[in-house]
């Protein structure tokens, strides 16, 4: 039994197009409609045949949907919600895939006070954007965190859970604020650090940019993957999750100062103890199926 018969996806980039592909692969009888503000994206999705219908407006795309998923940058969610709230059927469920959740829930609550709101965050992605970057197996084995408001209908939450399970994801249900704190440390802070390191390296004067690129296999290149992530998406995430990110950044700065002192005073034991603990974290990530166990992320060295 399928949880939904008519799904509408607003925003057809990496995540939206991956959902469309995964729905096609796993629930082929579901009718898919889509909309994207960018006409080039709409044309590309039509050419790829990812949706049954690609509408020119958000309102037209949701008119007979029973699930609407907003897959736009978090800063655009309030705007899109306002555009389609009047047209969405009263019994349809509104959801999204935004990377921060408290602000999104507030924005959706303002426009869908009398509807079922079940926000979601699939913790899966790549550094690429746009409809050509999507793929059907993106969510396979990854976690999808649902952050429904306290008064959400359990049946609506269950239907959205089943939908994501059908796409291959595992479900966790969390309070939106807690989600934002957890993701601040597991996702947002690592992105901020990567953006900083890559920015610092490209600003150096005594080491040329060509040297930075040439010797990047020493570690730098692994940061460049994260720092290549979509600028619009990440600008919006930091602005939306300001409080949690600033809290984690404060803790990070304190820990960095401790390391700085250990290096200054030649405290090798402190460095060794920390590096031993962090190595164990990497082992846990692999053991829990969240990354490839092959050395060097499975890069070939032929």
- Interface residues with ligand NAP (CB under 6 A)? 10-16, 36-38, 41, 71-74, 76, 79-80, 97-99, 121-122, 125, 129-130, 230, 233, 237
How far apart are CB 14 and ligand NAP at their closest, in Å? 4
How far apart are CB 66 and ligand NAP at their closest, in Å? 20
Which of residues 12 and 92 has its CB atom nearest to ligand NAP in the complex? Answer: 12
How far apart are CB 258 and ligand NAP at their closest, in Å? 31
Which of residues 3 and 122 has its CB atom nearest to ligand NAP in the complex? Answer: 122
How far apart are CB 36 and ligand NAP at their closest, in Å? 5
Which of residues 41 and 176 has its CB atom nearest to ligand NAP in the complex? Answer: 41
Which of residues 210 and 290 has its CB atom nearest to ligand NAP in the complex? Answer: 290
**Alpha-carbon span 12 to 110, nearest angstrom:** 24
Q: Which of 83, 86, 73 is nearest to 12 (CA)?
A: 73
Which of residues 133 and 262 has its CB atom nearest to ligand NAP in the complex? Answer: 133
How far apart are CB 99 and ligand NAP at their closest, in Å? 3
Beta-ladder partners of 170: 143
CB count in 10 Å sphere of residue 92 = 22
Which of residues 72 and 244 has its CB atom nearest to ligand NAP in the complex? Answer: 72
How far apart are CB 78 and ligand NAP at their closest, in Å? 10
């Amino acid at each position: 039994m399928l949880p939904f018969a008519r799904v509408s996806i607003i925003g057809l980039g990496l995540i939206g197009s991956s959902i469309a592909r995964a729905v096609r692969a796993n629930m082929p009888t579901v009718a898919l409609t889509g909309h994207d503000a960018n006409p080039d994206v709409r044309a590309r999705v039509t050419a790829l045949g990812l949706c049954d219908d690609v509408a020119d407006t958000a309102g037209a795309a949701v008119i007979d949907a029973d699930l609407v998923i907003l897959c736009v940058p978090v800063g655009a969610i309030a705007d899109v919600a306002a555009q389609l709230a009047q047209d969405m059927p009263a019994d349809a469920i509104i959801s999204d895939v935004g990377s921060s959740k408290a602000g999104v829930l507030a924005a959706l609550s303002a426009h869908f006070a009398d509807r079922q709101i079940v926000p979601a965050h699939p913790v899966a992605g790549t550094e690429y954007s746009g409809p050509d970057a999507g793929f059907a197996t993106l969510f396979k084995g990854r976690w999808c965190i649902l952050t429904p408001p306290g008064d959400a209908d359990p049946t609506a939450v269950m239907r959205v859970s089943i939908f994501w399970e059908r796409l291959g994801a595992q479900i966790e249900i969390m309070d939106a604020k807690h989600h934002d704190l957890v993701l601040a440390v597991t996702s947002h802070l690592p992105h901020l650090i990567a953006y900083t390191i890559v920015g610092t390296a490209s600003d150096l004067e005594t080491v040329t940019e060509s040297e930075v690129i040439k010797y990047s296999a020493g570690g730098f290149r692994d940061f460049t993957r994260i720092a290549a992530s979509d600028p619009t998406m990440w600008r919006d995430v930091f602005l939306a999750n300001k409080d949690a990110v600033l809290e984690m950044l404060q803790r990070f700065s304190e820990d960095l100062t401790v390391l700085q002192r250990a290096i200054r005073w030649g405290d090798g034991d402190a460095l060794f103890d920390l590096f031993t603990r962090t190595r164990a974290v990497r082992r846990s990530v692999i053991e829990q199926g969240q990354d490839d166990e092959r050395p060097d992320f499975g890069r070939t060295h032929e």
